[in-house]
Copies of this chain bind each other. A is one copy, B any other.
Amino acid sequence: MESRPLRYFVAVAEELNFARAAERLGMSAPPLSRAIRKLESELGVTLFERSTHRVALTAAGVELLAEAKIVLDALQAAQRRAQRAGSPDPKLVLGLKADGHAGMLDAVLARYEADPAALPVAIRLCEWGEQPQLLRRGEADAAFVHEPFDHTALDAEPLITEPRVAALPATHPLADRDHVNIADLGLPAEPVHPSEFRRNLTTGADAHRCATSRSCSRSSSSASSSRCCPSPSPPCTRGPVSPTARCRTRRPS
């Protein structure tokens, strides 16, 4: 199997429309249709249920879409990393959200640089949740990441578990508590992405200013803060669940 038909497949699977997919790929629809049919016959599997006015993924198509994304990301990563390795001054790129290293950056760098084969480290600052994609696409070689994140094609190593802090305005009804359960905030008990966390707090009727902090640094806002626990009962027994992980796409060889 080649990578080009896979790119075509992903475009069609995401658009669920041959004409739009062809436009996105900068080509016309007929060769795209042919390429998909050829791919199907090569795999011996039907990827789309099509009528003239409807395109839908089969189970095999759903599976291939997930796998194809991995392949295409890996392909991009191979290209970028080879280019960086061949550049005049190759660096190891460390993906990092500002203040997102739980104070461990210096220690981790020192440990890495103790290796005589270590490369100079370039820090690449990024936003919440960007790191995994940077790693998968080869724009970074290692990163500090907060759980939960999509582990697909990544190798992560837990580094530290930090307490969660709910930062609330002083007038918030929960502001004077020592502990707050995640359920109190109207969030599910399962791990929640920080953006959800924030949205839920900021849309609260009486929330003037809100912030979430999962790093070890204390929020500098004037809001009061309470320890935040994942489940309503019993509070804090299983402990907060947001380990910072160091993540890389492969082992140093």
* Complex CA–CA separation, A79 to B154 (angstroms): 20
Contact A253 B86 (CB under 8 A): no
Q: Which of B47, B66, B83 contacts A45 (CB 8 A)?
A: B83
Q: How far is the CA of A250 from the CA of B65 in the complex (A)?
A: 13
A153-171 Cβ-contact flags toward B at 8 Å (1 or 0): 1111000000000000000
How far apart are A140's CB and chain B's nearest CB, in angstroms?
14
B82 near A74: Cβ-Cβ < 8 Å: no
The number of times this chain is found in the oligomer is 2
Residue in B closest to A90 when the chains form the complex, CB atoms: B59
Interface residues in A1-17 by Cβ distance below 8 A to B read 1-4, 6
Q: In the complex, are the beta carbons of A1 and B79 less than 8 A apart?
A: yes
Query: Residues of B contacting A151 with CB < 8 Å?
Result: 155, 250-251
**Cβ-neighbour of A44 out of B47, B68, B77, B83 (below 8 A):** B83
Q: Does A63 belong to the interface (CB within 8 Å)?
A: yes
Among B3, B4, B68, B251, contact of A152 (Cβ-Cβ < 8 Å):
B251
A2/B1 contact (C-beta < 8 A), A64-B82, A251-B150 known: no
Option from B46, B70, B90, B251 in Cβ contact (under 8 Å) with A250:
B70
- Determine whether the beta carbon of A64 is less than 8 Å from that of B45: no
**Known contacts A66-B250, A90-B59; is-contact A78 B71 (Cβ 8 Å):** yes
> Known contacts A59-B90, A66-B253, A151-B251: does B75 contact A71 (CB below 8 Å)?
yes
Contacts A47-B82, A60-B85, A67-B78 supplied; 9 other A-B pairs, CB < 8 Å: A1-B78, A43-B79, A63-B86, A67-B81, A68-B78, A70-B77, A71-B78, A74-B153, A153-B153
Residues of A within 8 A of B (CB): 1-4, 6, 43-47, 58-64, 66-68, 70-71, 74-75, 77-79, 81-86, 90, 138, 150-156, 249-251, 253
